[in-house]
């Protein structure tokens, strides 16, 4: 009973629907004491209009049909399902193409950035040495580049 009072207090205190929904789900719906303070399904049902009471006075279908037949949008509706699926497919195709263009563009732009590696840098530059001197004298020079590597080793030695 004291718990019910506490729940009632917190329900009134915090007017947030999620909080109130939580209190109802956790406590009120499972508490016979709290449920006694709510109208039962039978009591509510006796106050409401039931399906059996809702006999429609006029023939609704005739009116609906005449409204639809007179409506030029009817023919459009027939192909709407097909149209919507086609449009959906085209939508996906356009979105995918746009994404591809966007990603490609981004990668290209990134490649051309001053800080990044330029596309020409990807092509190995021709390495040339006009001459190598050691102690003012022409030196024996060996240039070595390991296979598959950008590293170039220049080994120079004197002729002594």
**Contact positions vs other proteins (CB under 8 A):** 17-18, 20-22, 24-25, 28, 37-39, 41, 43-58, 60-61, 63-65, 67-68, 71, 73-74, 77-78, 80-81, 83-84
Give the Cα separation of 146 and 71 in Å (integer). Answer: 80
Least Cβ distance, residue 52 to other proteins (angstroms)? 8
In this complex, which beta carbon is closest to other proteins, that of residue 30 or of residue 158? 30
Least Cβ distance, residue 40 to other proteins (angstroms)? 8
Nearest to 129 by CA among 149, 144, 107: 144
In this complex, which beta carbon is closest to other proteins, that of residue 78 or of residue 113? 78
């Amino acid at each position: 009973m004291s718990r019910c009072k506490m729940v009632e207090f917190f329900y009134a205190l915090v007017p947030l629907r999620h909080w109130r929904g939580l209190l109802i789900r956790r406590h009120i719906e499972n508490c016979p004491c709290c449920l006694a303070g709510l109208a039962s399904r039978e009591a509510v049902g006796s106050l409401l209009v039931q399906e059996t009471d809702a006999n429609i006075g006029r023939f609704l279908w005739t009116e609906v049909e005449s409204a639809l037949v007179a409506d030029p949008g009817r023919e459009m509706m027939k192909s709407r399902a097909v149209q919507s699926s086609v449009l959906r497919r085209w939508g996906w195709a356009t979105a995918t193409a746009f994404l591809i263009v966007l990603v490609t563009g981004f990668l290209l732009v990134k490649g051309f950035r001053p800080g990044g590696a330029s596309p020409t840098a990807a092509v190995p530059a021709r390495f040339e040495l006009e001459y190598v001197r050691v102690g003012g004298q022409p030196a024996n020079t060996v240039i070595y580049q390991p296979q598959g590597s950008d590293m170039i080793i220049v080994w120079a030695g004197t002729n002594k």
